[in-house]
A and B are shown apart, each in its own frame.
Chain A
Amino acid sequence: SQTIHQWPATLVQPVGSPLSLECTVEGTSNPNLYWYRQAAGRGLQLLFYSVGIGQISSEVPQNLSASRPQDRQFILSSKKLLLSDSGFYLCAWGAYSNQPQHFGDGTRLSIL
């Protein structure tokens, strides 16, 4: 069966520090991968998606970037965090556009 892992679960970072969140998927090949952000009490906003190694599409302009160095690895990064980057970051994988996306348990990022 397929599983998706995100880490860390919680992260507290100072403003201006770098960020690296990692997501890995097991049990499937060539998945579509996604990064979402969820503000408190809100729905999810799509940040990036990837259909293959090295292929990244950005949905919103922001202070973040994504990379896919391996087939089942998706990384969310920032060189300098802003207060507005606080939130709950969720990684998801999907096999095809008209099939469910499956989510990890997220990383709660707090910027001080």
Chain B
Amino acid sequence: GESVGLHLPTLSVQEGDNSIINCAYSNSASDYFIWYKQESGKGPQFIIDIRSNMDKRQGQRVTVLLNKTVKHLSLQIAATQPGDSAVYFCAENIGSGGGADGLTFGKGTHLIIQP
């Protein structure tokens, strides 16, 4: 059967280096974006979010950048650690002013931290 990760882009970085994971979104009406981390066999875990009125938002060791002109989102992880190995998904929400519509997810990137 299929193995998880066969169809996912993979990014391999050395422990301690910085990593950048990219995501392109298609809907120019999207006004809210989230990055999730998913470890094998678990549900996605919220990392950081950003609203469309911002270009950059920082968390602990993570930074999200939003470029609305080219509809591009990136997640930067500083000083990567072995525990950062996971699949990372971006997600967008059109946010129709109070609606509860679910998120639209990207395909995911498999981040591998090399010792």
CB-CB under 8 A from B104, the residues of chain A are 46
Which of A43, A46, A49, A99 counts the most B-chain CB atoms under 10 A from its CB?
A43
CB-CB nearest in chain B for A102: B46
CB-CB under 8 A from A94, the residues of chain B are 100
Which of A42, A51, A100, A103 counts the most B-chain CB atoms under 10 A from its CB?
A100
B112, CB-defined interface residue at 8 Å: no
Bound form: Cα–Cα A105–B38 in Å: 10
- Say whether chain B's binding surface is mostly helix, strand, loop, or mixed: loop
Q: Is the CB of A104 within 8 A of B43?
A: yes
- Can you spell out 18 A-B residue pairs with CB atoms less than 8 angstroms apart? A34-B102, A41-B4, A41-B6, A41-B7, A42-B7, A43-B89, A44-B89, A45-B105, A46-B103, A49-B100, A90-B44, A94-B100, A97-B93, A97-B96, A98-B95, A101-B103, A103-B45, A106-B43
Q: What is the interface of chain B, defined by CB distance below 8 A to chain A? A: 1-8, 31-32, 34, 36, 41-46, 49, 51, 89, 91, 93, 95-96, 98-108
Q: What is the interface of chain A, defined by CB distance below 8 A to chain B? A: 6, 32, 34, 36, 40-46, 49-51, 59, 90, 92, 94, 96-106, 108
